[in-house]
Structure 1
Amino acid sequence: MKLSVHPVSTTLLLGSCLALALSACQREPAPAQGAQPQPAAAAASLPASVEPADHADAALQDVIETNERYIIGISYPKGLDRYPGLGAVLSGYANDARGELMDAVEGFGNDVPSAPYELSLAFEIVSENSQMVVVAGNGSRYTGGAHGQPLIVRFVWLVAEQKLLPVQELIPDATGWSTISAYVAEQLQDAVAMRAEADKLEPAERAELLKDSGRMIEEGTQPSASNFEQYVPIFDARGKIVALRFVFPPYQVGPYADGVQQVEVPAGLLYPHIAPAYLELFAH
């Protein structure tokens, strides 16, 4: 089992200028486990492919904007000029996120929010080889309330085909999702049980934690590709995929305080369910 949990900060530091600006903003503490959840990560619909010629001359520039009404920080990794189609997808996602923030800001008219609204978004290349490029986008958008809305998104780009590889295209059959769902849910439940044991909870507290966590895990890991859209291929030294790491934003399989949760599913479990066109990408 490989499972990791990473807390999501409501403010992602994108350079010293943005860091200083964000430090002036106060946030209330995260709600208790029983609090009404906000929506999970904002994952805009992503096009399967983009015509590179349409965006070949569009250079991606980091963005820092600060004023009394809003703060925006967006950063892109170096090297994306080699993949203009992928750059266009990232830019489109960032522009959509910025547009939603500005819609909220404009809702104030001439007034000023009590704390500046924020968009903080950083992209990074997490792996790259001759066949695939994988980019992670992490950040948050704050438009009032206790804390920001996490922005957790992963992009898997096929270099030769010049298109994204959506998880439902990689694993097209329902049987595969039933298998993955059962495996992931078990890993997440085991992690909760181990945490309860480490915290030495009283029996009643332990039972309540397992019950509440079990409900969220069951709902968030239903056997549908839509629950597993954010994923990262894990490669061996030959560049073959040995596992898929599924990434779950806060609220999907646990409370906000649990942060981003990840579970790696080994290639051996996945291989029978991979679309024939992509079998050669996997170690077996």
Structure 2
Amino acid sequence: MNKHAVLVSVVMLCLTQAGCKPEPAAEPRPSATPAAAGSEARPETVALVDVIETSPSRIIGISYPHDASIPAGLAGVLQQYAGQARDELQMALDGLGNDQPRAPYELSLSFTVSADTPAFMAVSADGSRYTGGAHGQPLMARFVWLKQQQRLLPIDALITEPASRAALADYVQNALVQQMENRLRADQLSAEELASARSNARRMINEGTAPEMENFSQFLPVVDRQGQITALRFVFPPYQVGPYSDGTQTVDVPVSVLLPHIAAEFRGLFAAG
């Protein structure tokens, strides 16, 4: 099953890390250029420890980045996300009472650094949680950490005006509809099947891309060699804008579309449109 493949890759990566052991408990304007030497203290960084746990009832594998210095605040956010995923797995096991699952419940989660510039770091979290049934529940999250401000950058801070939010939603919706049409053409459906599939897909896209910022909360910056943002990649998990079989879907919104809608205090992070 696909969920096992993801888990095995996370477990193997953890086992190859030296010292792998259970995880311990745990407003200046942003700039695309580094601060002058000595102008401020260097943010504290921490080393995150991979997790591997196995028992007859559960298997857990969590892999953190080891090729980048993770700011302490961001490390805490990642640990909190992983901890919540573990707690939800345990709650599902506790719900069985004295019964044992037919197959071990599983959590696999891998964090990777997607962008690392003087101004921000972006991290992707991908994995799955299996608590019975035909397949696991996908886990997906994206984090953009402002290094100087030492906080996350949420989409509702980047795009604040209602008209701008509507413009973003329209662009993403149109892109997803085009992707959907391409998939349907490749499926070679009958006219009746095509009409039904198109209607259902458009309904899910319309609902999943309504101009509410929680629908666009998962995003990553696409950066150039100078560390400036050239696009935002919005990520939609299964069921938000399509059925499970469509998997995770993405739309890149280029800076030429974004820049007029970005809040003034963050425009320095973006390349010229």
Report the counterpart of residue 48 of structure 2 in structure 1.
60
Deviation of residue 79 (structure 1)? 4.4
Cα contact 2:47–2:66 (8 A) shared by 1: no
Q: Give the total of aligned pairs.
A: 242
Where does residue 229 of structure 2 map in the other structure? 241
Q: Could you tell me which residue of structure 1 aligns to residue 188 of structure 2?
A: 200
Please give the secondary structure, in 2, of the residue aligned with 1:14.
Answer: helix
Aligned sequence identity (%): 47
1:265 to 237, 245, 253: 253
Aligned 1:127-146 pairs, distance under 5 A? 127-146=115-134
Mapped partners of 1:57, 1:245: distance in 2? 26
Instruction: Please report the TM-score for the alignment, with normalisation by the length of structure 1.
Output: 0.80
Question: Shift of the alpha carbon at 1:81?
Answer: 4.4
How far did 1:59 drift? 4.3
Cα gap change, 1:233 to 1:224, in 2 (>3 Å): same
Q: Distance in 2 between matches of 1:154 and 1:9?
A: 22
CA deviations 1:73-106 (Å, max 9, x no partner) are: 1010114544111111100110111011111112
Post-superposition CA distance 1:121-146 (Å, at most 9, x none): 00000111111111000011112222
Structure 2 CA distance for aligned equivalents of residues 210 and 133 of structure 1: 38
Larger mean CA deviation between 84-93 and 107-116 belongs to 107-116
Compared with structure 1, are the counterparts of its residues 252 and 205 closer, same or farther at alpha carbon in structure 2 (3 Å cutoff)? same
1:153/1:230 contact within 8 Å kept: yes
Counterpart position of 1:110:
98
- Counterpart of 2:102, as a letter, is S
Give the corresponding residue for 1:88.
Answer: 76
User: Which amino acid in the other structure matches residue 3 of structure 2?
Assistant: T
Amino acid of the structure 1 residue aligned with 2:12: S
Q: Higher relative contact order by CA 8 Å / sep ≥ 6: 1 or 2?
A: 1
State the alpha-carbon separation in 1 of the partners of residues 231 and 115 from structure 2: 13
The CA deviation at 1:58 is 6.3
Q: Give distance in 2, aligned partners of 1:202 and 1:105.
A: 44
SS in 1 for 2:222: strand
- Give, in angstroms, the shift of residue 15 of structure 1: 3.2
Q: In the TM superposition, what whole-angstrom CA distance separates every residue of 1:190-245 from its partner, at most 9, and x where no partner exists?
A: 11112222222221111111111001000000001000000001112221111100
Instruction: Determine if contact 1:125/1:135 at 8 Å carries over to the other structure.
Output: yes
Match of 1:182, as an amino acid?
A: D
CA RMSD in angstroms comes to 2.1
Stretch of structure 1 that moved more, 121-130 or 80-89: 80-89
Counterpart pick for 1:256 among 244, 257, 263: 244
Aligned residue for 1:171?
Answer: 159
Letter in 2 for 1:146: A
Structure 2 stretches lacking a partner, 5+ long: 16-43
Greater Cα shift, 123-132 or 57-66:
57-66
Indicate how the Cα distance of structure 1 residues 260 and 57 shifts in structure 2: closer, same or farther if over 3 A, else same. Answer: closer
Q: 1:174–1:224: 8 Å Cα contact kept in structure 2?
A: no
1:116 Cα shift?
Answer: 1.0
Aligned to 1:10, the other structure's residue is in SS state helix
Instruction: Check the 8 A contact 1:242/1:266 in 2, yes or no.
Output: yes
1:9-42 Cα offsets, whole Å, 9 max, x none, are 43422133989xxxxxxxxxxxxxxxxxxxxxxx
Q: Distance in 2 between matches of 1:174 and 1:111?
A: 51
Quick check: 1:76–1:123 contact (8 Å CA) kept in 2? Answer: yes
* Structure 2 letter corresponding to 1:188: L
- The answer to whether the aligner puts 1:14 opposite 2:7 as a matched pair is no
Within 1, Cα distance between the matches of 2:209 and 2:114? 24
Could you say which residue in structure 2 is the equivalent of 1:51? none
Unmatched segments (≥5 aa) in structure 1: 1-7, 20-55
Deviates more, 1:192-201 or 1:115-124: 192-201
State the match for 1:126 in structure 2: 114
5 Å-filtered alignment, 1:42-57, equals none
Scaled by the length of structure 2, the TM-score of the pair is 0.83
* Distance in structure 1 (CA, Å) of the matches to 2:157 and 2:138: 25
Q: Distance in 1 between matches of 2:150 and 2:242?
A: 35
**CA spacing shift, 1:237–1:80, aligned 2, 3 Å:** closer
Mapped contact 1:69–1:117 kept (Cα < 8 A): yes
